[in-house]
Structure 1
């Protein structure tokens, strides 16, 4: 998939009030973490993880809406998801979902009709199901709320893909955060932040966060806000999406304190 320059700012319906929508509840976030670790997850950490996940899904939906608009469609179909990922490599997250989804198998033969329904094929395996990913489908309600907030509708197959990507992304985020806590900081991953060619340098907020995380002072039993921020820098390699996710996550916890 080819990368194209990311947009300088988000242009979807939520631009003026991006923090008003919180479709992924902290309680659901904590449930994902409990699947991976017995560590305590602070309240602010849960809010940050929910915010980052929302930011990522919002960007994917916005890219898909643009693709649908080019074909004069309002309802999003799996092909719009593929188009969004093809145009912006930063959106390629939660890729473990790809091997379970007919959408990505479609690159080698699965077809969809205009309503996003899979066209039957004798070559298509019926043994593999999207639910093979642990935790998939738990984000469906949040995905639908986020779609509505973006003024978008989607066929069931598209909702399923957004659900699966959200689940896998948050699971990966939780896994990285747990490693950071166990190792006492971001030492395993280093403190140098990668920057893609042609991108501006990361803002001071990002540099300062990583510098602090390299010498983590919290206990080894609690995943905190900064641990999620560090995990976000690992999961989101693209500077524009990463910067926006970190900025919105900081805003999400501005009025909350760590447990």
Structure 2
């Protein structure tokens, strides 16, 4: 009888620990928003942005853990990240980081020296990298805290990729939230529906709660909670991860209001 690889479910005490741990502190989140916009960011928007980023990285780590378990490994390596993305396209976020990481060398401009060692390409060395990439180191403590909360271990290269993806994702989220404020709502609202070849895609439901985020209410100077939620619908195109991120973010926002 063939042994089945271990499966990691988000339930019980582990889920509670993930939800209770705030790996990305408000000052860090605010700093990322300041990198992309001069707008004021509300406290609830900061909490929601941190929650969405945590949810995304948690799902990536979960997928990587399953890949590692199939090879009877406990320590995560960059190859597990690639496997997680290959198996779940919803996890393909923060793609700007791919251009700067050796893990994604097939998609980047990195080159190898005569001994096969990865070195920065001349083009990238001459150009100024985006602030999301330059500032990725700020996410290391939060990534390590998130890994510990899930009982996961990772090699330094994997930590590097997780912090890079987290930095780029949160930067993109902040940029889209600012766009939502400027444009008065989500102008590129959409969703992904899986259908059989030849079958028409189902029409969007008028009761879909995500549609409520397509029209903005509020002043044009402050990024609020709903602006970040709307930006989440832009950044996360898959239904499952997007809905999980929105649900957990709303719970965080409610806790903030109650406090």
Range into which the TM-score falls when normalised by the shorter chain: 0.7 to 0.9
Distance 1:140 1:133, change over 3 A: farther
Which residue of 2 is the match for residue 4 of structure 1?
none
Q: Sort the Cα spacing of 1:87 and 1:169 in 2 relative to 1 into closer, same or farther, 3 A.
A: same
Measured after TM superposition, the shift of residue 162 of structure 1 is 0.2
List per-residue Cα deviations over 1:152-202 (Å, max 9, x = no partner): 11111100000000000000000100011011122x224xx413215xx9x
Secondary structure in 2 matching 1:196: coil
Q: State the TM-score, normalizing by the size of structure 1.
A: 0.81
Change (3 A) 1:209 1:70: closer
Note if contact 1:100-1:133 (Cα within 8 Å) is conserved in structure 2.
no
Rounded Cα–Cα distance in structure 2 between residues aligned with 1:142 and 1:28: 10
Shift of 1:99: 0.7
Question: Whose radius of gyration is greater, 1 or 2?
Answer: 2
Using a 3 Å threshold, how does the CA distance of structure 1 residues 78 and 133 change in structure 2: closer, same or farther? farther
1:155-234 correspondence to structure 2 within 5 Å: 155-186=155-186, 188-190=187-189, 193-197=190-194, 207-211=208-212, 213-234=213-234
Q: Which residue of 1 aligns with 2:198?
A: none
1:66-85 matched pairs, under 5 angstroms: 66-85=66-85
Task: Indicate the SS of the match to 2:36.
Answer: coil
**1:11 to partner: Cα distance:** 5.5
Mean Cα displacement is larger for which, 232-241 or 133-142?
133-142
Q: 8 Å contact 1:21–1:149 — kept in the other structure? A: yes
1:29-87 deviation line (CA, Å, top 9, x unaligned): 11000011110000000000000000000000011011111111111111111111111
Unaligned residue ranges in structure 1 (runs of 5+): 1-6, 111-119
Cα distance in 2 for residues equivalent to 1:124 and 1:132: 15
- Checking the alignment, whether the CA contact within 8 Å between 2:101 and 2:108 is kept in structure 1 is no
Partner residue of 1:54?
54
CA offset at residue 106 of structure 1?
5.7
Q: Do the aligned partners of 1:13 and 1:149 also contact (CA within 8 Å) in 2?
A: no
- For structure 2, the 5+ residue unaligned runs are 1-6, 196-201
For the Cα contact (< 8 Å) 2:100–2:108, is it kept in 1? no
Greater helix proportion: 2
Select which of 107, 116, 122 maps to 1:121.
116
1:215 CA displacement: 3.5
Aligned to 2:4: none
Q: Which moved more, 1:100-109 or 1:235-244?
A: 100-109
Partner deviation per Cα, 1:102-145 (whole Å, 9 max, x = no partner): 000067999xxxxxxxxx5157546557x944222110000000
Partner residue, 1:3:
none
TM-score, with structure 2 as normaliser = 0.81
